[in-house]
Chain A
Amino acid sequence: MVMPVIQVQGLSKSFGDNLVLRGVSLDVAAGETVVIIGASGSGKTTFLRCLNRLEEPSDGAVRLDGTLVGASASEALVADQISQFGFVFQRFNLFPHLTARDNVAIGPEKVRKMPRADAQALAEQELTRVHMLGHADKRPSELSGGQQQRVAIARALAMKPRVMLFDEPTSALDPELVQEVLDVMKALARDGMTMVVVTHEMSFARDVADRVIYMEDGVIAEEGPPEQLFGAPRSTGAQRFLRHLTHD
């Protein structure tokens, strides 16, 4: 059997007395797109943030290509592991003092130690991929939310990650800007990128996901291919959640 890109075993996270994740296990295969849905507070964002160490898990293990993430005492090694995960934030978190090009180039240049000219060229390549090359010299404040999010995706892609993690990438966007971001993500999935996506965009989940995961109270309550999870959910939680969504 081919080794999964990501192997998560018994992942738990608590903030003080508040147990947000209670032993989540999940494998993600190369090229697979996994969409995580669930009500707010179900732990899906925390789960994603534990994968690339934005949160320190309380218990459990995350492996990337079989190697335990965050186990080394060396800051440099852990940072290098983290850089193998591309992370796209709900609120973009672009660097406001840098142009779109430099936002994308700074990782390759400072982290991968690429010569500046090469990093800039790579940045332009990645900006082209998200249809933002024409805005390369603009600062984030001059860009719409959808444009900022596409630059943020390019910034993550420029690190040549093994897997892309998306944390509600369209939730902070005006409705008319959602589609341009989803289109970029669809193209990525089609190109074979391994992706884990937390989202409320059910049409995206239906069209793009290989597998949908429904989280509730810090555990995976149900998982399956989108046809099954959306068509005939087995757990009462998923049934209730999906019923509420369609009534929105």
Chain B
Amino acid sequence: MTIDWGIILESIPLLAEGVIVTLQVSALSAVLGLALGVALGLGALSRSRAVRWTVAAYVDFIRGTPLLIQIFLVFFALPMIGIRFDEFSAGVVALSLNAAAFVAEVVRGGVGSIERGQAEAAKAIGMRHRQVLVYILLPQAYRQMVPPLTNELISLVKNSSLLSVISVYELTRAGQAIISVHFVPFEIYTLLALYYYVLIKALSWLSVQLERRLPTW
């Protein structure tokens, strides 16, 4: 087998376009997933049993079903009940809903790991449950939440390749388009792997920087 260096050179800029979409989808999903995930995480720590149960059921559903099926549900099933998204938005919605469940678990675990005396001290000065969470427990949990959240972000970027199945023109889909025309799977899939690898490495590096900047006490 000979390697087609010409097609590799030609593909590098074409795939870069896919990278941009991958980054857009991932960034949007990360922000939405984080926001929804924190809300769900606080719900998991709520005083209301109904709220806790609802969050637990949601997390259980997301963890218990393949992401690919969740993507199909958003893109193909929701339109049947009148909720329609274009491919890009469907991808963002599916990835956000998926990430939120995992973020919720990180928030719940992080807050749950703070020593019990902290919540007691806050309660003793008259704080209500919600105030204890927001002013005392969450700020102390931030730091230890960063590594698992970074892992979640990395999963998110890798998972975004699944959006190729609903024709979101992200990195993987961009590569497949080249393969279908030139039939160069070895070159392109290797190149795709490299692209993802570099992206993930860059994210890991950023997360270490962020961790270093977080306050200690």
- Name which of A26-34, A92-100, A200-208 contacts chain B: A92-100
Centre residue among A82, A95, A159 by max chain B CB count within 10 A: A95
Interface string of B124-154 (1 = CB under 8 A from A): 1111110100011001100000000000000
**B136 CB contact (under 8 Å) in A52, A76, A95:** A95
Residues on B with C-beta less than 8 A from A107 are: 125-127
Residues on B with C-beta less than 8 A from A80 are: 126
B117 CB–A CB distance under 8 Å: yes
- A95, B121: Cβ atoms under 8 Å? yes
Question: Nearest CB to that of A111 among chain B residues?
Answer: B126
- A156, B125: Cβ atoms under 8 Å? yes
B217 CB–A CB distance under 8 Å: yes
Minimum distance in angstroms from B134 CB to a CB of chain A = 9
List the interface of chain B (C-beta within 8 A of A): 47, 117-118, 120-129, 131, 135-136, 139-140, 215, 217
Question: Nearest CB to that of B141 among chain A residues?
Answer: A97
- B121, A82: Cβ atoms under 8 Å? no
Interface string of A137-148 (1 = CB under 8 A from B): 001110000000
- Name which of A65-73, A83-91, A178-186, A210-218 contacts chain B: A83-91
**B140 CB contact (under 8 Å) in A89, A97, A106, A110:** A97
- A159, B125: Cβ atoms under 8 Å? yes
CA gap between A115 and B117 in the complex, in Å: 27
A13 CB–B CB distance under 8 Å: no
Question: Nearest CB to that of A82 among chain B residues?
Answer: B126
Residues on A with C-beta less than 8 A from B140 are: 95-97
Minimum distance in angstroms from A165 CB to a CB of chain B = 9
Question: Nearest CB to that of B128 among chain A residues?
Answer: A79
CA gap between A82 and B139 in the complex, in Å: 23
Minimum distance in angstroms from A126 CB to a CB of chain B = 12
Residues on A with C-beta less than 8 A from B129 are: 75
A162 CB–B CB distance under 8 Å: no
- B135, A89: Cβ atoms under 8 Å? no
Residues on B with C-beta less than 8 A from A86 are: 124
Residues on B with C-beta less than 8 A from A141 are: 217
CA gap between A82 and B127 in the complex, in Å: 9
Residues on B with C-beta less than 8 A from A87 are: 121, 124
- A111, B131: Cβ atoms under 8 Å? yes
- B131, A110: Cβ atoms under 8 Å? yes
**Given A93-B120, A156-B125, 12 further pairs, Cβ under 8 A:** A54-B120, A75-B47, A76-B128, A89-B121, A93-B121, A95-B122, A96-B140, A106-B125, A107-B126, A111-B131, A140-B217, A141-B217
Interface pairs (18), CB distance under 8 Å: A53-B123, A54-B120, A79-B126, A82-B123, A83-B126, A89-B120, A89-B121, A95-B118, A95-B121, A95-B136, A96-B140, A97-B139, A106-B125, A106-B135, A107-B127, A155-B121, A155-B125, A156-B125
Residues on A with C-beta less than 8 A from B128 are: 75-76, 79
Known contacts A79-B128, A95-B118, A97-B139; A54/B123 CB under 8 A? yes
CA gap between A106 and B125 in the complex, in Å: 9
**A110 CB contact (under 8 Å) in B124, B127, B217:** B127
CA gap between A52 and B140 in the complex, in Å: 25
Centre residue among A76, A79, A140 by max chain B CB count within 10 A: A79
- B117, A91: Cβ atoms under 8 Å? yes
**B217 CB contact (under 8 Å) in A97, A152, A155, A159:** A97
Question: Nearest CB to that of B114 among chain A residues?
Answer: A96
Centre residue among B124, B127, B131 by max chain A CB count within 10 A: B124
